[in-house]
Chains A and B, each alone.
Chain A
């Protein structure tokens, strides 16, 4: 797919891949073998009828194509951009053997963008309030949106509560504009209003209302999808120095609050000349690439294992490298040093070698004695993951959580409290957008079955 030139794109926040034009999309769709058994569908957590939507593109029936996708997937423009297709549908494609599987994600993006462009900018007309049982979806990220949409389609009266001032969860505050433009997220989220979902922003459930109060207000079931919570810090000296960010804070400032447009937007972000990003996941890649676009001279990803163990998508690592991000593998941070004003001046590090595999199956980093060294830095972004947020969960009696504070839910998404279902990062810990959407779908079915039995 055509992309913005790396030298140019590091100076802007515009989307990196341009997306297919009609001609390119039809050409790609025509390569699809239209397999009878369609193994690709089995690889899709959103259960999209992939051959059917691709056939529709090939035959220039673009509206049909997006309708087919939307039968099962509420966020196709998002998924077409951020799903790790290489590990899902495209991994199952029969053409993988030839080294050129169908670019399913790009085709999905094409169909979704075609509709967004042709739908125009008018607001979605709010759908009629459904007459089914009242259901509260708590959290407006990918899991919540998917669950809300699926339940609304089944005729339930769904209200989705979001703590922030914009919906979308990680799609809005976390993933940068150049990977996922926000107007696309908002347009796509808006479409669930058309299904009759009521979206309440700035609602921090657990504080403004408890689950118990909401039961009294007539809510018959709950879906908790509050996502990953409190950011982890490394626990080393100097983490409170000015210039140290959690990736959550850094990305929220840049993406949700649009600090890259400061001072047109009021929220600042402070990026120095030499930036270190600690961690090896997609969040680390996003942070590094944002820092580069905010005029850092050098951005270094510091990861304690090797490139093979990095959890980030190959595509993201590739894009980061293209843009000139440096990588320090097998390196751990020992501490951060500051100047007399309390600003970060350097980071002390330690070299590792790989030892035996750990619980995750990845080889464990083992420190090499005497390998300490310092790197001059003025900004450090800590992207080593999040723990569970106790704000809502602590207020619910009888809710079982595991030792990491994540909600325990069964295969239907049901928790230890019968009217409470849960899914997404609050159950699994940090995972992908599509995994969260899959959990939202599953829980919507679970809630439907539960309510049918109950009422």
Chain B
């Protein structure tokens, strides 16, 4: 059991959860993820780490309530516990000093881009950040990011905050004006695909952090397999970061839909449970 020591609602959909996990907090590095299971009937689901604090012995995730498991997590309060956390999993981001870097976070992916951008700055890189969101209230982590990075661009789909448009609009301008050594993108699959397509003609190395459906997270199930340069790779043990120019995003997007029907059914069931008072949340 991992006690929740801090819970913040960042916006109506996204919450931040800091949990006790001593050994995990010592081993975690930027770019790695954990597998959570909220309760005895719960799924195992992966979340990229937002923060880890060795002194406090805690790890923090930022979670968007979209399915049953994420809704369950967002419904918990400080003092409640999460049943299982396994990790850190996946390879950590290589955060050497490579020069001029652009980090892009889309939606809840902004929280996952945060530790990577921070580590990149700490390694001495010249980091520009682009945050993309549907609308103003979905923009997260802006204050945290501006603490260590003064080149921060924000775009919203509806123009309610920052610039109206997509992260790729800003990215294109940056790439036209200047030469960059690396682009890092984390967010919805379609965004990572568009970013990779945009950087390809400029020849800028582009890393993406994939969010495939997985169960164990240790290489055992193969559910998270992706097509990478014509080969099968497992997101959990080979990733989660891959060269975006070699990932078959269309294949990944198709695989991400494979439980759509069941996810809707599970949500219906969950809402019914909530109504009769068995579950928490909305």
Q: A residues touching B (Cβ–Cβ < 8 Å)?
A: 163-165, 173, 201-204, 207-209, 229-231, 233, 239-243, 245-246, 248-249, 252-253, 256-258, 262-268, 270, 342, 389-391
| Residue from A258, A265, A270 in contact with B259 in the complex, judged by beta carbons closer than 8 Å | A270
Complex interface: chain B residues within 8 A of A201 (CB): 84
Could you tell me if B266 and A248 are in contact, using CB atoms closer than 8 angstroms? no
Could you tell me if B27 and A209 are in contact, using CB atoms closer than 8 angstroms? yes
| Residue from B44, B218, B221, B257 in contact with A246 in the complex, judged by beta carbons closer than 8 Å | B221
Q: B residues touching A (Cβ–Cβ < 8 Å)?
A: 23-24, 27, 37, 41-44, 68-69, 83-89, 215-223, 225-227, 232, 234, 237, 251, 254-255, 257-259, 261-263, 265-266, 268-270
Chain A residue, CB-CB nearest to B227: A240
Residue in B83, B216, B221, B227 whose Cβ sees the most chain A Cβ within 10 Å: B221
Complex interface: chain A residues within 8 A of B87 (CB): 204, 207-208
| Residue from B85, B222, B262 in contact with A230 in the complex, judged by beta carbons closer than 8 Å | B222
CA distance A243 to B68 in the complex (A): 22
Complex interface: chain B residues within 8 A of A242 (CB): 254-255, 257-258
Could you tell me if A208 and B258 are in contact, using CB atoms closer than 8 angstroms? no
Could you tell me if B262 and A204 are in contact, using CB atoms closer than 8 angstroms? no
Question: With A163-B216, A165-B86, A252-B216 as given contacts, are A262 and B254 in contact (CB-CB < 8 Å)?
Answer: no
Q: How would you classify the secondary structure of chain B's contact residues: helix, strand, loop or mixed?
A: mixed
Chain B residue, CB-CB nearest to A258: B41
Question: With A240-B227, A249-B223 as given contacts, are A266 and B257 in contact (CB-CB < 8 Å)?
Answer: no
Question: With A252-B216, A262-B266, A266-B43 as given contacts, are A202 and B86 in contact (CB-CB < 8 Å)?
Answer: yes
Could you tell me if A391 and B221 are in contact, using CB atoms closer than 8 angstroms? no
Could you tell me if B254 and A249 are in contact, using CB atoms closer than 8 angstroms? no
Q: How would you classify the secondary structure of chain A's contact residues: helix, strand, loop or mixed?
A: loop
Shortest CB-to-CB span from A395 to chain B, Å, is 12
CA distance A390 to B259 in the complex (A): 29
What 17 new A-B contacts, CB under 8 Å, besides A231-B221, A342-B255, A389-B220? A173-B220, A202-B84, A203-B23, A204-B217, A208-B27, A208-B87, A240-B254, A242-B254, A242-B257, A245-B223, A249-B223, A256-B215, A257-B43, A262-B265, A268-B259, A270-B261, A390-B237
Could you tell me if A207 and B41 are in contact, using CB atoms closer than 8 angstroms? no
Chain A residue, CB-CB nearest to B34: A202
| Residue from A207, A209, A257, A267 in contact with B89 in the complex, judged by beta carbons closer than 8 Å | A207
Complex interface: chain A residues within 8 A of B255 (CB): 240, 242, 342
Q: List 17 A-B contacts (CB under 8 A).
A: A164-B86, A165-B44, A165-B83, A203-B86, A230-B222, A231-B220, A240-B255, A249-B223, A252-B216, A257-B43, A268-B262, A270-B258, A342-B254, A389-B218, A389-B219, A389-B237, A390-B219
Chain B residue, CB-CB nearest to A390: B237
| Residue from A204, A239, A245 in contact with B86 in the complex, judged by beta carbons closer than 8 Å | A204
Could you tell me if B85 and A202 are in contact, using CB atoms closer than 8 angstroms? yes
CA distance A57 to B68 in the complex (A): 50
Could you tell me if A229 and B220 are in contact, using CB atoms closer than 8 angstroms? yes
Chain B residue, CB-CB nearest to A232: B222
Chain B residue, CB-CB nearest to A342: B254
Complex interface: chain B residues within 8 A of A243 (CB): 258
Complex interface: chain B residues within 8 A of A204 (CB): 86-87, 89, 217-218
Could you tell me if A252 and B215 are in contact, using CB atoms closer than 8 angstroms? yes
Could you tell me if B262 and A270 are in contact, using CB atoms closer than 8 angstroms? yes
Complex interface: chain B residues within 8 A of A240 (CB): 225-227, 232, 251, 254-255
CA distance A196 to B220 in the complex (A): 29
Chain B residue, CB-CB nearest to A162: B86
Complex interface: chain A residues within 8 A of B262 (CB): 262-263, 268, 270
Chain B residue, CB-CB nearest to A386: B220
Shortest CB-to-CB span from B46 to chain A, Å, is 13
Chain A residue, CB-CB nearest to B218: A163
Could you tell me if A267 and B43 are in contact, using CB atoms closer than 8 angstroms? yes
Shortest CB-to-CB span from A329 to chain B, Å, is 26
Could you tell me if B266 and A263 are in contact, using CB atoms closer than 8 angstroms? yes
Could you tell me if B232 and A239 are in contact, using CB atoms closer than 8 angstroms? yes
Question: With A207-B88, A389-B237 as given contacts, are A249 and B259 in contact (CB-CB < 8 Å)?
Answer: no
5 smallest CB-CB distances across A and B, nearest first, come from: A268-B262, A263-B269, A249-B221, A242-B258, A202-B86
Could you tell me if B266 and A391 are in contact, using CB atoms closer than 8 angstroms? no
CA distance A233 to B234 in the complex (A): 12
CA distance A230 to B225 in the complex (A): 11
Question: With A209-B23, A230-B237, A233-B232 as given contacts, are A266 and B68 in contact (CB-CB < 8 Å)?
Answer: yes
CA distance A391 to B37 in the complex (A): 22
Question: With A202-B86, A249-B223, A391-B219 as given contacts, are A266 and B69 in contact (CB-CB < 8 Å)?
Answer: yes
Complex interface: chain A residues within 8 A of B251 (CB): 240
Complex interface: chain A residues within 8 A of B216 (CB): 163-164, 173, 252
Question: With A208-B87, A209-B23, A266-B42 as given contacts, are A342 and B257 in contact (CB-CB < 8 Å)?
Answer: yes
Complex interface: chain B residues within 8 A of A248 (CB): 220-222
CA distance A233 to B231 in the complex (A): 11
Complex interface: chain A residues within 8 A of B89 (CB): 204, 207
Complex interface: chain A residues within 8 A of B237 (CB): 230, 389-391
Shortest CB-to-CB span from A260 to chain B, Å, is 13
Residue in B41, B234, B257, B259 whose Cβ sees the most chain A Cβ within 10 Å: B41
CA distance A390 to B217 in the complex (A): 13
Complex interface: chain A residues within 8 A of B259 (CB): 268, 270
Residue in A207, A208, A263 whose Cβ sees the most chain B Cβ within 10 Å: A207
Could you tell me if B263 and A268 are in contact, using CB atoms closer than 8 angstroms? yes
CA distance A133 to B41 in the complex (A): 38
Shortest CB-to-CB span from B220 to chain A, Å, is 5
CA distance A302 to B44 in the complex (A): 31
Shortest CB-to-CB span from A20 to chain B, Å, is 32
Could you tell me if B222 and A208 are in contact, using CB atoms closer than 8 angstroms? no
Could you tell me if A230 and B86 are in contact, using CB atoms closer than 8 angstroms? no
Complex interface: chain B residues within 8 A of A207 (CB): 27, 87-89
Chain A residue, CB-CB nearest to B83: A165
